[in-house]
Structure 1
Amino acid sequence: MKNANILITGANGFTGRHACRHFHGKGMRITALARNVVDSGAPHVEWKKCDLTDKDQVYAVVRETMPDYVLHLAGRNSVPESWLDPVSYMEANFVSTLYLLDALREIKRDCPILVVGSALGSSLSTNSSALHPYALSKWFQVIASQEWGRFYKQRILIAQPSNLIGPGHSNGICGLLAKAVTDLERGKDVPPFSFTSLLEQRDFLDVRDAVNAYESILFHGVSGEIYQLGSGSVRTLAAALACFQAMTTIKLQIQVKHRPLPFVPEPVDNGKMSAFDWKPMIPFERSLQDMLTFFREQQ
């Protein structure tokens, strides 16, 4: 795979930045797509602006770059925001994926693409209805990707990671907590951190472990398969909060709304990843410590 060109969508995001570093380390040429911000501080990456909800832009960038592989990370991922603007979530997560798949079908059909969905989107396979518009948009994305590959004989692979954590800017609960901790340590005025319930459970997986898995799936995975990725253990938000508290001398102020739990997550089945000899390597506590270190080093 050395010197092959990989196109990474959502490259300026939390996972995208890790993916750019990872695949550059494998000797690949990186074409990074971002909607608005182009990070010129990464000399090993060729950055291109592209709005994936604009069909013409998508076709143009595929025609210009002619990728050997595509890692599709772009999308929107805020559950509260999806309630306020559901149609934009369908456009960002579902319609944009169709544009990308169809551009590859017409221009570079032999190019494998890994579509990164969400474990929240998989809830529709066991529940009768979606929990929120975000989950629905990711479910549409996965179903469309599977069927598109079947229709047009394209090599389309799907990953469904659990909640990703690790160093970098993230809108996940642990990322927001890490930022709040370091702001408090700097003496900033931070409002109490709000939880729906401390009993809510999550499977947390380090983003660096996830990107390692994406490499194996993209290069060796079976078209049409859905590869679930998780840490293998579930923690309450209370346990995550306790870990953060143990890593700082500042007392965290929290607010608990005591609303009913939205759902109890099912254990993530990593079984299909055994074919690649992949397993999570980074402990939860190290992930949190690396997150705090990242924010503590920010100016």
Structure 2
Amino acid sequence: MNKILITGGCGFIGSNFINRIFYKNAYEIINIDAMYYSADENNINKDIRNSKNYKFIKGNICSADLIDYVLNNYNIEYIIHFAAQSHVQNSFEDSLQFTKDNILGTHTLLECCRKYGKIKKMIHVSTDEVYGESMLNMDEKQKTEQSILCPTNPYAATKSAAELLAQSYYQSFKLPIIITRGNNVFGPNQYPEKLIPKFIKLLKENKKVTIQGDGSNFRDFLHSNDTANAFEIILEKGVVGEIYNIGCDENMGYTVLEFAKLLIKLIKHTDNYHKWIEYVEDRPFNDKRYFISNKKLKDLGWNINENFNTKITELINDSTTSNKISTEFDNYNQNANEGYPNQISTEFDNYNQNANEG
């Protein structure tokens, strides 16, 4: 069975991928996560957590000693690097932490993989925000994988820098790297700082949704099932050295205001939108739109299978998700260290202790 290292696997997209790929019975999964505020090991299905083919390690990828240990101890062959600080608003307030985790963490991982020398394929997960904003006029083409990078916020800048490091390790050291750039994602297990779960949470608590600026910014959202499927296809069929956009089809986008109105209609059953909307100060810079081409990924056989309206309705009606959203701020990590049979968050510490005693 192939050994795959997932970084950030207790987060939103990483956990959805693990919950999909595990049942293919093709990989033994080793999941490293620093367990920051938005991570929860309970995002991983319980039967997976209890399986001998799943290992969880609580740790930060900025630790070269940890990465070296994991690569060599588990004979890792494949990597999907999800781990990142990803909330744009936080990057305006604590940009240095984004530099540390997104750039230094990625560089540490790359260097350890270079020295290890046994990686068959590594997928570096980036974002459509590295392109900067797309124009709203109909004359501009979609951003393709060859478009220039023009990040407009600290988060996007750190992801751009991490990409360039990854590309340099492919060119200089022949590290078998693939880069992905994805649209926004929604679905189960998403922390309620993001737009869709945040709006659902507020409305279910009879509170107004808060819109930064005038709400005219366009956003495209893929369901987590389609995103997980994209990573599975790229892992199986993606060409080393290539970049793949994971994006919506044309005309799938909404403005933030339109998202708010849709959720108000579905949850509050009213057209009196103004009663449930509060406009707040905008970000220092807020991209108008991210519009990326998904043709290259579709050429690998990927398609969008989930219907946005259907999945939004399911997310609203799902009692488990609703309870998760309403309580997550207070107890997001309460059960992170319950001691599942295959949780080895202390194994590396024990390894170091024994090494020092020798």
Common fold: TM-score over 0.5: yes
- Displacement of 1:165 in angstroms is 0.7
Paired with 2:123 and 2:228, the residues of 1 have a C-alpha distance of 11
Superposed CA deviations along residues 92-117 of structure 1, whole A, max 9, x for unmatched, are 11111111111111114333110110
| Distance of aligned partners of 1:31 and 1:123 in 2 relative to their CA distance in 1, 3 Å threshold | same
Q: Deviations over 1:238-276 (max 9, x none)?
A: 221222122223667221247597333242100111221
Paired amino acid for 2:279: V
**2:24 is aligned with what amino acid?**
K
Matched ranges for 1:92-103 at <5 A: 92-103=101-112
**Equivalent residue number for residue 105 of structure 1:** 114
Structure 1 residue 227: Cα displacement: 0.6
5 Å-filtered alignment, 1:1-299, equals 3-27=1-25, 28-36=27-35, 39=41, 41=46, 42-44=49-51, 45-123=54-132, 130-170=151-191, 171-184=193-206, 190=207, 192-232=209-249, 233-249=252-268, 253-257=276-280, 259=282, 262-292=286-316, 293=318, 294-298=320-324
Q: Percent of counterpart pairs with the same letter?
A: 21
Aligned-pair Cα RMSD in Å: 2.4
Contact 1:200 1:237 (C-alpha < 8 Å) held by counterparts = yes
**What letter matches 2:244 in structure 1?**
Y
- Single out whichever of 96-105 and 56-65 deviates more from structure 2: 56-65
Q: 2: CA distance between counterparts of 1:91 and 1:14?
A: 21
What amino acid maps onto 2:97 in structure 1?
Answer: S
CA distance in structure 1 between the partners assigned to 2:208 and 2:90 by the alignment: 20
Q: Secondary structure at the match of 1:247?
A: helix
Question: For the residues of structure 2 that align with 1:38 and 1:256, how far apart are their CA atoms?
Answer: 31
CA distance in 2: counterparts of 1:228 and 1:55, whole angstroms: 29
Separation (CA, whole Å) in 1 of partners of 2:323 and 2:40: 22
Which AA in structure 1 matches 2:260? L
Give the secondary-structure state (helix, strand or coil) at the position aligned to 2:103: helix
Distance 1:241 1:192, change over 3 A: closer
Give the residue type in structure 2 aligned to 1:4.
Answer: N
Secondary structure in structure 2 of the residue aligned to 1:296: helix
1:117 counterpart SS class: strand
Secondary structure, counterpart of 2:205 in structure 1: helix
SS of equivalent to 1:277: coil
Task: Give a deviation string over 1:182-225, Cα, whole Å, max 9, x none.
Answer: 333xxxxx465243222110011111111111111122212221
- Paired AA for residue 26 in structure 1: K
The DSSP-based 3-state class of the residue aligned with 2:233 is helix
- Matched length: 292
**Match in the other structure for 1:187:** none
Q: Which protein, 1 or 2, shows the higher relative CO under an 8 Å CA cutoff with sep ≥ 6?
A: 2
- By how many angstroms is 1:90 displaced? 1.2
For 1:115, give the aligned amino acid.
H
Instruction: Return the index of the structure with the highest Cα Rg.
Output: 2
3-state secondary structure, aligned to 2:41:
coil
Partners of 2:3 and 2:28 in 1: how far apart?
5
SS at match of 1:276: coil
What amino acid is aligned across from residue 271 of structure 1 in structure 2?
A: K
1:167 aligned partner, one-letter code: P
Deviations 1:63-98, CA, capped at 9 Å, x for gaps: 222222111100101222112221211111111111
C-alpha separation between the residues in 1 aligned to 2:187 and 2:109? 28
Instruction: Measure the CA separation in 1 of the matches of 2:171 and 2:149.
Output: 25
Displacement of 1:141 in angstroms is 1.1
TM-score for both structures, normalised by structure 2? 0.75
Contact 2:209-2:277 within 8 A present in 1 as well: yes
TM-score by length of 1: 0.89
Give 2:130's aligned amino acid: G
Compute the displacement of 1:137 (Å): 0.1
List runs of 5+ in structure 1 lacking aligned partners: 185-189
Unaligned 5+ segments in structure 2 are: 134-145, 328-358
CA distance in 1, matches of 2:67, 2:23: 27
